[in-house]
Amino acid sequence: MLHLHYTNLDSTNAAAKRLAAMNPGQMLLVSARTQTAGRGRLGRTWQSPAGGAWFSLATPAPENALVTQSAPLVVGAAVLETLQELLAAQTPNGTSAASPALSIKWPNDILLGNRKVCGILCERTLGAASADENRPSAALILGIGINANMSAVQLTDVRFPAVSLADVLGHPVELPRLIDACGRRIAAGMETLIANGLPCSVLKTIKRHLAWKGCRVRLAQGNREIDGIIMGIDALGRLMLRTYDGVEMCNAGEVTTVRPVAAPSEEPLAV
């Protein structure tokens, strides 16, 4: 995997897209110290001051719906496992038990103590006709932003409370090592996904760390809002929500509101 690091970029996702177009079939890791136009989902802005781990992987990938849909889960699980190892390595007895818990706000925001430490943006480039079938020119651009060595108090107007690794650890982490470790784990997960489908280990990690399991939430899907209780995820990584109408499997969406499950005296949501 070729790793290209820049002092400043507009967006590592945008740069990875440009570079992937020039290097079809090649896996690339693109990172930057700062981004001037860091992108979130749905056209939102990602604040990217110095001290964060801002990077993207351009992964050659066939234009296959299952691969495209599952990639964010693979990336989320890989980053969570890497952060778990990093936090464990920072504690004297080698466990992360002393740190606030890592969890996944489905589908792939990573929370540390219920505050957002990492956001993920997966995009797809369309492939041009390739002479070599084994080297697909279509690529997935997997963008990862980890609040690492800056403090989250620098961030303004965040829609969900944020935190950085340094806020929790009280000292900086080695950024190149963190980016490299995440990149390797994501690349391995993507290879398995493309060859064999969604790895069980990914589902296991997400199930184990799913935020707000058993809580009543509101999921926004475009203009639609679904209220229900998070039951878990299914074998395709879809969020299972128990609503008044039954269990709904959700492919996409964003949890916007969380409430504890109704007390017995309140009207129960259960069907």
Map the footprint of ligand BT5 across residues 204-223, applying CB under 6 A: none
Closest distance between ligand BT5 and the C-beta of residue 14, in Å? 7
CA 59 to chain CA centroid, Å, is 15
Closest distance between ligand BT5 and the C-beta of residue 231, in Å? 23
Per CB under 6 A, does 256 bind ligand BT5? no
Task: Work out which of 57, 162, 233, 255 binds ligand BT5, going by CB under 6 A.
Answer: 162
Return the residue matching tokens 């700062």. Answer: 34
Contact range with ligand BT5 by CB under 6 A, out of 71-79, 140-148, 193-201, 225-233: 140-148
| Closer of 42 and 235 to ligand BT5 (Cβ) | 42
Task: Work out which of 67, 155, 173, 178 binds ligand BT5, going by CB under 6 A.
Answer: 155
Per CB under 6 A, does 149 bind ligand BT5? no
Task: Work out which of 39, 185, 216, 238 binds ligand BT5, going by CB under 6 A.
Answer: 39
Closest distance between ligand BT5 and the C-beta of residue 182, in Å? 11
Task: Work out which of 147, 175, 186, 250 binds ligand BT5, going by CB under 6 A.
Answer: 147
Closest distance between ligand BT5 and the C-beta of residue 123, in Å? 9
Residues of this chain that interact with ligand BT5 (CB under 6 A) are 11-13, 35, 38-42, 44-48, 54-56, 109, 116, 119-121, 143-145, 147, 155, 157-159, 162
